[in-house]
Structure 1
Amino acid sequence: MGVIKSLEKFDIEFFTSNPKQADVWDPKLRKLVEVSYEAVFDAGIPIEKLRGTNTGVFVGVSDVDTGAIAFRSGKLNNLYGLARHAFAMMANRKSFIFGLHGPSYVSDAACAASAVAIQEATNAIRMGLCDSAIVAGACIRHDPLTSKIFFPSDMLSVDGKCKVFDNSADTSEQKPW
């Protein structure tokens, strides 16, 4: 498992976001906005050049668990907290912040969500729905309940390394539980 420190930090002023909204965004959305900006910057494209263009935003996401945590804790800070449950926000907020006018949506295909987002972006460009695209995938587990459910279901590896479809993948016989 990887650990990302300071998930609660986000430069609201830099990304010209409403503080009441940004305060309750799923941390995946904050990271998606930051990393997307960095990727465009690293590609040598000033984000201002994309503003107003027919650029699509395609995001692969398979769950938003911070809403469940907020609900259980009773901390639904403000009414914008309802938006934390909406997958569409992962793409639509990015489109809004960067001023992009192409298609903007999320694909949920579990572990294949990012691959589907790439396929959808490629198809949209080929069909002329957009001229370019920002494609991203996000999976950050916040809720320990998810892992608690995965563990007895033989969905986690003993050594913490992903070996999907690999001959070296853990089998039930190898697991001590």
Structure 2
Amino acid sequence: MSRVIQTDRLILTPVAEGDYADLCALLADPGFCRHIFPQALNAEEAWFRLLRDIGHWQVMGYGNWSIRTREDGRYVGSVGLLNYQRILDPAFDAIEMGWGLSPAFQGQGLAFEAATAAVAWAGQHLKADHLVCMISPDNGPSLALAARLGFARYTDTTYKGEPVILLERQSVPGGGT
């Protein structure tokens, strides 16, 4: 099973140690982090996230991909299929999907391109019949992307004391077979 995905404009590769500097810069950007973390992350916290993502691929056989432009290899952000064992009520009943792009690359359709490819990969390789995601109610762009990807809100709850919206996509091409 190939873990590398290519689209018209992007290359998605499983997160690797070589992504650390780019990940550090992204996670230190308050504009990127404002809907995800209470504050930007430092280099140590970025390292732990990198190790988590590498380990996720090793244990689960899927995880976060680093997104880079095909044209020049610039780091765009990440998209992933996840099982983080979140302590959440209601608990997730499917693979979680997540994404995050550097503010410099937002508004260009790259998140939709990467996420669409990840959904197709989930259907083909994981036979996922549906996916879930969790988004801050203040993150309008991510909510719009989720809707464009076919996710629908199914409940509101809290995660680590913060309000979140849980969404699901009921159909995954090639999934559930």
Same fold, TM exceeding 0.5? no
Q: Report which of the two structures shows the higher radius of gyration computed on alpha carbons.
A: 1
Greater share of strand residues, 1 or 2?
2
**Higher relative contact order, chain-length normalized (CA < 8 Å, sep 6+):** 1
More helix by share: 1
